[in-house]
């Protein structure tokens, strides 16, 4: 299993400026909480990048099931056949809130973003609680850099599903090979870093 890590293509100015502005918030968080917190948040975000598209369809069917059950009962059209069709977004009687038949549909893209956002929020909150103590200067610097990388992955995951930036397409052989990161190796490496970082981290500063 591999997880594609979004790498920067030749950006246009508007995309670069937007991403740079958003990265400031992540960098500030990393400066405040340190490298160990950035590593923990990054691990959960990477898992979310892989898991969100995988979970979108099955969770979408659950949303469709509750919605369709209520609508079909109100309309007096409930039957197992109609309900099953609505769950799978194949009903002629109603439009399912999540089009699980088309991964590129707006509803599926939005639902995927919501799932990923849940993972990201949990990741940053857990990282803050577990390793968000006051760190020395060097740890804050690396935390800034680490959180910026994590922020870049979050931003690109979301923006690539919302906006289509104008691009000039040039078909030519690239001297840079495509990069795929082996998920198990990546997770193993990050886990080692997390254990090392948590062991060296100080507990969060309690506010009196």
Which residue ranges make up each domain of the chain?
15-165+179-198
pLDDT band with cut points at 50, 70 and 90 for residue 98:
very high
Indicate whether 178 pLDDT > 90.
Answer: no
Instruction: Give residue-wise pLDDT tens across range 80-91.
Output: 999 999 999 998
Distance CA 113, CA 161 (A): 8
Higher pLDDT, 131 or 122: 122
pLDDT band at 45 (very low <50, low <70, confident <90, very high): very high
Q: pLDDT value at position 66?
A: 94
Of 167 and 192, which is predicted with more confidence?
192
| Cβ 132 vs Cβ 29: under 8 Å | no
């Amino acid at each position: 299993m591999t997880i594609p890590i979004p790498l920067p293509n030749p950006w246009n100015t508007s995309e670069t400026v937007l991403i740079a502005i958003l990265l400031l918030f992540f960098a500030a968080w990393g400066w405040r909480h340190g490298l160990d917190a950035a590593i923990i948040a990054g691990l959960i975000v990477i898992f979310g990048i892989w898991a969100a598209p995988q979970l979108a369809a099955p969770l979408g069917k659950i949303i469709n099931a509750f919605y369709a059950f209520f609508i079909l009962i109100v309309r007096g059209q409930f039957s197992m056949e109609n309900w099953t069709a609505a769950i799978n977004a194949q009903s002629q009687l109603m439009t399912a809130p999540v089009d699980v038949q088309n991964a590129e549909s707006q509803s599926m893209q939005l639902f995927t973003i919501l799932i990923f956002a849940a993972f990201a929020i949990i990741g940053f909150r857990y990282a803050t609680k577990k390793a968000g103590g006051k760190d020395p200067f060097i740890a804050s610097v690396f935390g800034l850099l680490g959180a910026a990388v994590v922020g870049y992955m979050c931003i690109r995951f979301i923006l690539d599903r919302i906006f289509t930036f104008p691009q000039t397409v040039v078909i030519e052989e690239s001297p840079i090979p495509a990069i795929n990161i082996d998920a198990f190796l990546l997770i193993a490496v990050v886990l080692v870093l997390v254990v090392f970082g948590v062991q060296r981290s100080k507990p969060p500063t309690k506010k009196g």
